[in-house]
Structure formats: C-alpha cells, structure tokens
C-alpha cells in the first residue's frame, strides 16, 4: 500500500534574517571575494535542505535555490543568453549571470516582470528566431550530488518546464515556437538523464502556464514535449507541477505521459476538486495535492483540510499515490514564525510561515498514514488558535462594518470631466510642456536607514528624528530645484516601505520583525499582515508633505499608496471578500486624501503599481476584480476639487490588457514604465486613444547604469508619435529609493535635459 508522502515544492532563498541578501550585496559591492561568496551561499543552501529534512519532509526540492531568479537559472542552463551579454567564456560566469539580471555599464538588464499574479519578479528570457539553445552546465546535477554527498538527501530536482519557459520568453516570432521547442527537448532529456544516472528518483517539472488558457496547439505542444521526454528517460519519475490556479483542460493534462500531477487545492480548489469528481484521477499516478497555502501566512484549517485529503485519497485509491504539499513554492512566504516574539499571541498563534507550513504537511500526511486520532491534539490546538483570532475585537469593528454597509453600488465619480479639470489645473499649475517629475522616493542612504534604526530603538527622540527628516527633505528639495524638475516630491525619507509605512499608521494591520520575502533579486520586502478591520486613526503624510511644500514655489506631490496595492503587497485575511478589504482600505485613505487637500497639497499621487499583478489568471474572474479595484480607487480619490490633481503610478505591467481599467480610474496623470520593456509599452497607445495625462518612465531605475540623454529622449520621441504632447509627462519608471545618490542625480539631470531638448523641438515644429 505504501504511504502518503509529504513533499515541498520550493523553499525561501533569503534566510531567516536575509543572510542570502547580505551575501549577494556584499559580493556585488566588492566587499567579499567570489570564493567567500560561494562558500557562504553553499552553507545557506545546505542549511535550508537540512532544516526540511529535520522537519520530516519526505521529498525535498533541489534546484529551487537561486542566486537571483529560477527562470534566469533555467534560461542560462540552456544557453538562452541575450546577444549583448555573450562572451567567449566556456562556462557562464557569475559576472555574466548577474549582468543579465542587473545590467552593466555597457548593456541594459533583461526585462523583469511579475511571476504570474504574485509580487515576485522574474527575468524575462530573451530568445530570437535564430537562437540555438545549448546546454551550458547542469547545475541541477551539481546541486543534487551536493545534497546527496553532504546531507544524505536524495532530493527531488525542480526545473521550469519547456513550455512555460518558452511562453514566458520574448523576442521570437510565434511561428518559431515549435522549432525552439524541438531544440530544447533534447537538452531537457540530457539534464534529466544525468539526474537519473546520479540517483534521482523523481523530478518536479514546473509548468504553471497550464493554469492559463490553452489553445489546441498549446495542448499538442505539451503532448509532444512530454511524450518525447518520457520516451527518452522512461525510468525517471516525472511530476508535472502546476500552481496558482486550477488547470482548465484537466482530462488532457492528466493524460500526459508523466508519473504524477501537482494541483493547487487553495487558489484552484473548487475547479480542481470538481474535475476530479467528474473525471476521476488516473490509476497508478501520483496526485501532489497542494492543500497548504503557499502564498498566505495563515494556519491551515487542519480539520477541514484533512477531510478534503480523505476525499482525494479515495480518488487516487492508494496511499502511495497521494502527496501532501504546499499549493506553490514557499518562495512567497517568510521563513519561520519562531522568531516573531513581539506579536499579539492571538495573531501569532494563527500564523504559519514556510517552516510551519511544512510542519502542517507532515502532520496531515501522518494523519492519513496512521489515523485522525494520531493528530487529534494538533488539530484541536489548530482549531482553537484560528477561532481565537476570528472572535477577537480585531475582526469585529462595528464602525468599519457600518461604513461598508452604507456604500452605494454606483461607482464614485469626480465632480467634473477630465477635459474641464485639465483646463482648471493648467491655469492653477502653469507647467511647461512635457513636465518633469519623479515617482516619489529618493535614495534611502545608509544614513537614512541608520537614523530610522536609532529612532526605533529609542536612541533618538521623536524631535531628533523629525529634524533629521526635515534636513533630508530640504536637501532633496534643493537638489530637485537645481536639477530643474517641474513637480517635486518630498522624498519619503520617513518611510521604510510604501505599504508598511501606511500599515503602521492604520488599525487592522500588524508587522513582523523577520517576515521578509523576495521581490526581485536581492530586493526583499516585509509585507504587513492585514488581520483585522482597517480604519484611519490620524493624518499619516500631511506633516512631511506640507513641510516640503513650504520650501518651494513649485508643486510638491503628496504621496500615498493605493488600496489595491496595499492589499496585493500585504498578507491579507482570508475570512472576508477581497472587495470588502479593498473598500476598508479605501475608506481609510479617503480620510488621508481629505487631510492633504485641507493642507493645500493640490497634487496627490495614489500609487497602484500592483493593480495589474493582482489580476486573476482566469478570464472569467478578471472583470469582477477590475471592477472592485476601480471602485476602491475612486472611493479614495474622486471627491476632491477640480483643481486638485490626482496622479497614480503603475510599473512592469502588460498594460494593453487593462488599458480600459486604467482609463476608468479617472486619474489626471498616470505614470508608467517604458524603459525596462525598451519602449514596447508605447505600442499599447497606438490602438487606444488615451486622452488623460501620462508620465513615461524613460529610464530603468532597477539598474545602476546611468542612461544617456539620447536614450531617454528616444523613448519620449517614440511616445509623441502616438500621444498628444499636451498630456505627456517625463519621469523615471519607478521610485529611486534603492539607487545611490551618485546614480540618481546625473540620471535625473539627463532626464531633464532630454525633456528640454524635446520641448525645444516641439516649439520649433509649432513655430514653423
């Protein structure tokens, strides 16, 4: 009969206290040698594997660890290296690897975008029609052998599948897909055959693209690919892993010639369960049941989940054909709750991070193998912990619930049309053509971070910290004036994070000390926990914005983070609807917008960079999400006066899919990225006549390189081919918090010079 196994799909890379991040950044800064860096990284990697072994996980992933990004790892493995980074080196060096991800003085970084509907960013593989994939170095083999030799772990290697890899890549014509797939498949076989020879029993091939819509041609490609792989490595067991949603073509997918299927029973629970109920599950195949939420931080309801697993066990017939797993890689959650010593016990006892989630998988598998009685104590404690939070005052705020009940179903609207507002605001602000501005934040130097630490530790008084923030703000107002920017910002030196800062000032949020997750590269974020009803307590941004405005005659934007982004960049309670949480946050932000307007801040930017990333993967769910997003944004912003200009910002999104939604937000100005996608976003506006203000991100702030005037000018000129000059603004593509001062100032000077040159050309054209 065998037994039900517990398995993991992927483990966080960053370490309990971001040791991985520090090692990377020390190496990049030249503060540690390559040898020291690699030794540190190896020790971390092995410690993660040992921890999973000690937790009792039966099948431990190998190769999920990365120095930057797992998609980049896969592309490099198969020689998919952009031409501008090609060298004559026999093996891809660390320098080349990191240059692809981060750029260098001679070449732009590869594009970065959201990993499905998460806040993780992957490096987009670049493939041309003429690309010849080739195997560089089988890193999976090295990592498998390392785990086996050092820890005695026969791991489960993990690799991004060939279809997902190609579908996420850019640069080749669609009619070359089959040719590229044919070139890749023998390389996959080579990698897998070497793993089998080394002793691997199972390999996890991630094909999350399967949860998105698939054409008949797509399904045929899957059939061809996996028939080829299985034919050439028939004795290696293959787990085809999906996550983030249900698979649409359940019968076709489960007919593929592999040995097991990983399905998401959290985000895709209803549809995947319905498919199994309707069509059964293939005999003698493994079902890796993703019943533990890999993307949120709440404890699994062990009692309800155990019942679901019993249903799945009856479908697969034998214990050996069922695995208990997280619903996705645990890359998306922090490492452990154990270090969180300052949380309210009612909240802490309801939390589960990566280590705790693996513990839940082990408990559930044990219950299936032994009996429900064997895990009775754990189940009862779990039930008590979840009930305590649900019944707490945090989730029963009568005032907030009354405000929600009083909301109308009609979309909130501005007092006047954009056309009228445009004229009123033009008279009020008297800006030049192509106004220049930034997205909001300026470099968070080590001095800024140290000041915040001193204040948080009580080593500085409130007045000392406030004085420091004022000095930084004045310094950067002066710098912006000197550079020649038209609309200024206060710099956000008081803010640790664009979501955490607001969460700390609102009721209903809680914060961890070590709850970090990877966003991109070494960039880690510590999402707030929205665990109760959200409400506004007092002004959050007025003091800093009003002070900055007092230093200049130029407009200074007030800076807020929008309700959808606060939601998408937080870990969110799962006991009420998404729309209800959106609107709770929006009602709180509305009070802040009112406070800014009363303080005579007449440009207010409410950023929604995460609106697109929260878009559901299933077509039938998108309209509802977008309606709720627009409603909440307008709830927070549309009541302002006509001469108050509302801005927003979005980044790294496929805007063509949501351009109608962007228009429906009814902002006066939206700023978007153009540089990282090499200006491709501008093509969206060739088909959609966008009439409102639009700020083009003409340089990529995620790379340390300083773009030239000509480069930024080219993006502006391309945009003016499809946009009315009267609505175009010029700005970086995102905030400058992560950049150094010596990178920021010259880049902004070049940006302003580029705008001035284009203005002059426009003026000459008009005069002629």
pLDDT digits (tens, 9 = 90+) for 743-768: 999 999 999 999 999 999 988 765 55
Give the pLDDT confidence of 259-269 residue by residue, as tens digits. 999 999 999 99
Mean pLDDT, range 208-237, rounded to an integer = 97
pLDDT of 679 above 70: no
Q: Any idea which residue has 């510590």 for tokens?
A: 526
Give the pLDDT confidence of 342-394 residue by residue, as tens digits. 999 999 999 999 999 999 999 999 999 999 999 999 999 999 999 999 999 99
Helical axes 70-77 vs 139-151, angle rounded to 10°? 110
Tell me the CATH number of domain 418-767, given options 3.40.50.720, 1.10.1660.10, 3.40.50.10190, 3.20.20.210.
3.20.20.210
Query: Which two tokens mark 262?
Result: 């990983």
Give the pLDDT confidence of 421-465 residue by residue, as tens digits. 999 999 999 999 999 999 999 999 999 999 999 999 999 999 999
pLDDT confidence of residue 653: 55
CB 115 within 8 A of CB 167: no
Domain ranges (residues) in the chain: 5-393, 418-767
Give the pLDDT confidence of 64-109 residue by residue, as tens digits. 999 999 999 999 999 999 999 988 887 899 999 999 999 998 899 9
| Distance set, CA 106 to CA 69, 144, 705, 738 (Å) | 22, 35, 8, 21
In a 13 Å sphere around the CA of 635, the CA atoms on its Cβ side amount to 27
Residue-wise over 527-546: b if at least 16 C-beta within 10 A, else e?
Answer: bbbbbbbbbbeebbbbebbb
Query: Which two tokens mark 199?
Result: 């002793």
CB 690 within 8 A of CB 723: yes
Instruction: Give the percent of the chain with pLDDT over 70.
Output: 97
Nearest to 755 by CA among 435, 429, 430, 426: 435
Show Cβ contacts of residue 75 under 8 Å, excluding neighbours closer than 6 positions. 81, 123, 125, 165, 169
If one compares 529 and 721, the residue with the highest pLDDT of the two is 529
CB 313 within 8 A of CB 319: yes
Supply φ then ψ for residue 219, to 5 degrees.
Answer: -65, -35
Give the pLDDT confidence of 471-487 residue by residue, as tens digits. 999 999 999 999 999 99
pLDDT confidence of residue 697: 84
Least confident window among 190-204, 551-565, 716-730: 716-730
Architecture, CATH, for domain 5-393: Alpha-Beta Barrel (3.20)
Distance CA 379, CA 373 (A): 9
Fold match flag (5-393 vs 418-767): yes
CB 461 within 8 A of CB 754: no
Entry pTM: 0.88
CB 708 within 8 A of CB 749: no
pLDDT confidence of residue 595: 97
Q: Measured at the alpha carbon of residue 89, what is the angle toward residues 85 and 93, in degrees to the nearest 5? A: 70
Class of residue 170 by CB neighbours under 10 A (exposed 0-12, middle 13-18, buried 19+)? middle
pLDDT of 611 above 80: yes
DSSP 157-175: EEEE-HHHHHHH-BSS-GG
Average confidence score pLDDT of the chain: 94
Supply φ then ψ for residue 283, to 5 degrees.
Answer: -65, 140
Distance CA 264, CA 206 (A): 12
pLDDT confidence of residue 316: 96
pLDDT of 677 above 70: no
pLDDT of 620 above 60: yes
Give me the active site residues, please.
702
Binding site residue list: 18-21, 114, 119, 439-441, 492, 523-524, 569, 607, 613, 649, 651, 673, 734
- Residue 640 DSSP SS3: coil
Give the pLDDT confidence of 14-58 residue by residue, as tens digits. 999 999 999 999 999 999 999 999 999 999 999 999 999 999 999
Mean pLDDT, range 247-254, rounded to an integer = 96
Mean pLDDT, range 405-427, rounded to an integer = 95
| Distance set, CA 286 to CA 193, 324, 591, 649, 727 (Å) | 21, 11, 53, 45, 56
Mean pLDDT, range 139-164, rounded to an integer = 98
Q: How far is CA 18 from the centre of its chain?
A: 17
Distance CA 359, CA 6 (A): 9
Confidence grade of residue 651 (pLDDT, cut at 50, 70, 90): confident
| Distance set, CA 691 to CA 406, 427, 478, 617 (Å) | 33, 18, 33, 29
Confidence grade of residue 577 (pLDDT, cut at 50, 70, 90): very high
């Amino acid at each position: 009969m065998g037994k039900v196994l517990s398995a993991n799909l992927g483990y966080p890379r960053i370490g309990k206290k971001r040791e991985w991040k520090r090692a990377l950044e020390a190496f990049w800064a030249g503060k540690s040698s390559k040898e020291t860096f690699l030794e540190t990284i190896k020790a971390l990697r092995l410690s993660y594997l040992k921890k999973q072994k000690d937790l009792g996980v039966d099948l431990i992933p190998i190769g999920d660890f990365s120095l930057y990004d797992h998609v980049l790892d896969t592309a490099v493995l198969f020689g998919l290296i952009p031409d501008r980074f090609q060298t004559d080196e026999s093996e891809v060096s660390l320098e080349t690897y990191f240059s692809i991800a981060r750029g260098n003085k001679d070449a732009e970084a590869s594009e970065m975008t959201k990993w499905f509907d998460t806040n993780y960013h992957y490096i987009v593989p670049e493939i041309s029609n003429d690309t010849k994939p080739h195997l560089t170095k089988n890193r999976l083999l090295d990592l498998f052998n390392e785990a086996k030799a050092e820890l005695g772990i026969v791991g489960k290697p993990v690799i991004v599948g060939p279809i997902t890899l190609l579908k996420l890549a850019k640069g080749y014509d669609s009619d070359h897909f089959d040719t590229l797939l044919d070139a890749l498949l023998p390389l996959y076989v080579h990698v897998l055959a070497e793993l089998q020879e080394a002793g691997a029993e199972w390999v996890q091939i991630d094909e999350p693209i399967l949860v998105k819509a698939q054409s008949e041609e797509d399904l045929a490609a899957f059939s061809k690919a996996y028939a080829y792989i299985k034919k050439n490595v028939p004795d290696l067991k293959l787990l085809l892993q999906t996550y983030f949603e249900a698979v649409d073509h359940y019968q076709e997918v489960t007919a593929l010639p592999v040995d097991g299927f990983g399905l998401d029973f959290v985000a895709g629970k209803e549809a995947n369960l319905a498919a199994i109920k309707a069509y059964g599950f293939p005999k003698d195949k493994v079902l890796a049941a993703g019943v533990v939420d890999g993307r949120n931080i709440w404890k699994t309801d062990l009692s309800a989940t155990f019942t679901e697993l019993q249903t799945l066990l009856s479908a697969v017939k034998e214990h050996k054909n069922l695995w208990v797993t997280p619903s996705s890689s645990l890359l998306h959650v922090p490492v452990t709750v154990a270090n969180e010593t300052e949380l309210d016990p009612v909240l802490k006892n309801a939390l589960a991070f990566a280590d705790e989630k693996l513990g839940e998988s082990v408990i559930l598998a044990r219950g299936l193998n032994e009996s429900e009685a064997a895990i009775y104590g754990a189940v009862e404690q779990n039930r008590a912990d979840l009930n305590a939070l649900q019944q707490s005052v945090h989730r029963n705020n009568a005032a907030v619930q009354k405000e929600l009940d009083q909301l109308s179903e009609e979309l909130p609207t501005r007092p006047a049309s954009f056309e009228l507002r445009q004229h009123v605001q033009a008279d009020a602000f008297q800006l030049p053509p192509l106004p220049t501005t930034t997205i909001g934040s300026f470099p968070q130097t080590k001095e800024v971070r140290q000041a915040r630490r001193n204040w948080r530790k009580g080593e500085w008084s409130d007045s000392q910290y406030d004085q420091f923030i004022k000095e930084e703000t004045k310094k950067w107002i002066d710098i912006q004036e000197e550079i020649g920017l038209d609309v200024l910002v206060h710099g956000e030196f008081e803010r640790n994070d664009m979501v955490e800062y607001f969460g700390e000032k609102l009721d209903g949020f809680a914060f961890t000390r070590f709850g970090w997750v990877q966003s991109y590269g070494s960039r880690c974020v510590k999402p707030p926990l929205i665990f109760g009803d959200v409400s506004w307590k007092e002004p959050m941004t007025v003091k800093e914005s009003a002070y900055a405005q007092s230093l200049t005659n130029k407009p200074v934007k007030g800076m807020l983070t929008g309700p959808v982004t606060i939601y998408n960049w937080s870990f969110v309670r799962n006991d009420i609807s998404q729309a209800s949480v959106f609107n709770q946050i929006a009602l709180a932000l509305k009070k802040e917008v009112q406070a800014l307007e009363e303080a005579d801040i007449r440009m207010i930017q409410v950023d929604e960079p995460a609106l697109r990333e929260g878009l559901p993967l299933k077509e039938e769910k998108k309209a509802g999400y977008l309606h709720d997003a627009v409603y909440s944004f307008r709830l927070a912003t549309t009541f302002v006066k006509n001469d108050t200009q509302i801005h927003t910002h979005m980044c790294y999104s496929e805007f063509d899919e949501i351009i109608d939604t962007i228009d429906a937000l009814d902002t006066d100005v939206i700023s978007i990225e153009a540089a990282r996608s090499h200006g491709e976003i501008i093509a969206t506006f060739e088909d959609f006549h966008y009439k409102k203000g639009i700020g083009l991100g003409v340089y990529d702030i995620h790379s340390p390189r300083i773009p030239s005037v000509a480069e930024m000018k080219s993006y502006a000129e391309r945009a003016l081919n499809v946009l009315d000059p009267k609505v175009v603004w010029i700005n970086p593509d995102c905030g400058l918090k992560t950049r150094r001062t010596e990178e920021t100032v010259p880049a902004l000077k070049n940006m302003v010079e580029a705008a001035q040159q284009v203005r002059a050309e426009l003026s000459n054209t008009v005069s002629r």
